[in-house]
Amino acid sequence: MVPVAKVNVAEKLAAIDEYWSPRVAGALNGQHVKLVKLLGDFTWHTHDDEDEMFFVVKGQFRLELRHGDRDDALDLHEGEFAIVPRGVEHRPVAEHEAHVLLVETAGTVNTGAVRNEFTVEEARPV
């Protein structure tokens, strides 16, 4: 039997000292629960086969979206979340540091098919 463990989100986030570098805090049903600190502009990207949930633990950020021929944006504040459906191009932008919990399919690369200085091929545990 696998032991049940609790996770203190604030403590885990305090252990993260890099921006845009998601860390795995837990796993369930083929999904990873990741924690990440945001600051500045991320890269535009899509996830062709995975949906992605962003839950704001602390701070706020803007989630910019491209739906075919139109652009949109959501301002997400503490306690709010949004789910980006697979195939929707998106870019998080944080004017001030934001702490975010992500839920996505295990193995999802944070920049989708794009490879650049933000890319984390395999998120490490926190």
- pLDDT at residue 39 in the model: 98
113, part of any domain: no
Q: Report the CATH number that the domain containing residue 47 is assigned in CATH.
A: 2.60.120.10
Q: pLDDT tens digits, the chain, 126 residues: what are they?
A: 778 999 999 999 999 999 999 999 999 999 999 999 999 999 999 999 999 999 999 999 999 999 888 899 999 999 999 999 999 999 999 999 999 999 999 999 999 999 999 999 999 999
> What is the gyration radius of the CA atoms in the chain, in angstroms?
14
SS (H, E, C) the chain: CCCCCCCCHHHHHHCCCCECCCEEEEEECCEEEEEEEEEEECCCECCCCCCEEEEEEECEEEEEEEECCEEEEEEEECCCEEEECCCCEEEEEEEEEEEEEEEEECCCCCCCCCCCCCCCCCCCEC
Confirm whether 126 is domain-assigned.
Answer: no
Q: How many domains does the chain have?
A: 1
Domain assignment present for 122? no
